[in-house]
Structure 1
Amino acid sequence: MRLRSALAAVLGAGVLIVTTAASASAAAGQFRYDYVTVEGYEASGFLNSPPNGQCLNLPGVGEDNPQPGHAPKNRTDAWATVFTDANCEGNSFTLRPHTGGASERLKLRSVVFN
């Protein structure tokens, strides 16, 4: 009977570790940026708790919009590398966690968090 209890405790701990590791794969916080819509309106875009290690093309500044995003603000707990082109291509700039930001002169279309 004790062997079953010990086995159940080990399995429970293993499930807890796997669950905790999976939730840690996202950058906690928010990444914000500004852009001009296709119609010419000022807008703000944001990503809440974005995944780590995955290239993200920013909504609103894709191929259908000739205007890139600008003035990014990294309020996540991970480093953010922004790129001038989609699919994390082109020139890049790194923003530190929590307080990283740049002026409207920095243009961007994609980002990856590390």
Structure 2
Amino acid sequence: MTRRSITAAVSAACSAFVLLLAAPGSASAATGQFRYTYTTAEGYEAVGFLTNPASGECINLPAPGSAPGTASRAPKNRTDATATVFLDADCEGDTYYTLPAGTGASDRLLLRSVVFS
């Protein structure tokens, strides 16, 4: 191999590596678990959780067995991302609260949806 062909091969390899770094990656996710409490239709308290939730996507909190439209409460953000919780479904409305990573809120904070940064 000549010096010129070695230089061209190294240059091509470096260019490919740079393009690989610049290409968009897969969808990111918050690492950890987000927990919340809800009341079932029978009146029992239950704990719901999201494990490694997707970032940048609005998530309506599932509350199996609860009455439709019932708000959840007492969120605990045990992920590595900031969680913004909303009183309304579909991350809409003027009532929202931001929970930094590793924090939580009291039973008085009601929520129906969340989005992670």
Question: Same-fold call, TM > 0.5?
Answer: yes
Unaligned regions of 5+ residues in structure 1, if any?
A: none
Larger radius of gyration: 2
2:97 aligned residue: 93
Q: Determine the C-alpha separation between the residues in 2 that align with 1:39 and 1:78.
A: 34
More strand by share: 1
Q: Determine the C-alpha separation between the residues in 1 that align with 2:84 and 2:51.
A: 16
Alignment equivalent of 1:112, drawn from 109, 112, 115: 115
Q: Determine the C-alpha separation between the residues in 1 that align with 2:84 and 2:20.
A: 32
Cα 1:31–1:92, aligned 2, differ >3 Å: closer, same or farther? same
2:20 aligned residue: 15
1:58 aligned residue: 61
Q: Determine the C-alpha separation between the residues in 1 that align with 2:42 and 2:22.
A: 48
- Normalised to the residue count of structure 1, the TM-score between the two structures is 0.78
> Cα RMSD over matched residues?
2.4
What amino acid is aligned across from residue 11 of structure 1 in structure 2? A
Task: Report the number of matched residues.
Answer: 110
1:73-108 CA distance string (max 9 Å, x none)? 00111111111110112311111112x101111111
What amino acid is aligned across from residue 101 of structure 2 in structure 1? P
Matched, 1:75 2:78: yes
| 4+ residue runs over 4 A deviation | none
Cα 1:13–1:39, aligned 2, differ >3 Å: closer, same or farther? farther
Measure how far apart 1:64 and its partner are: 5.0
Unaligned regions of 5+ residues in structure 2, if any?
A: none
- Normalised to the residue count of structure 2, the TM-score between the two structures is 0.77
Measure how far apart 1:49 and its partner are: 1.4
State, as a whole percentage, how many aligned pairs show the same letter.
51
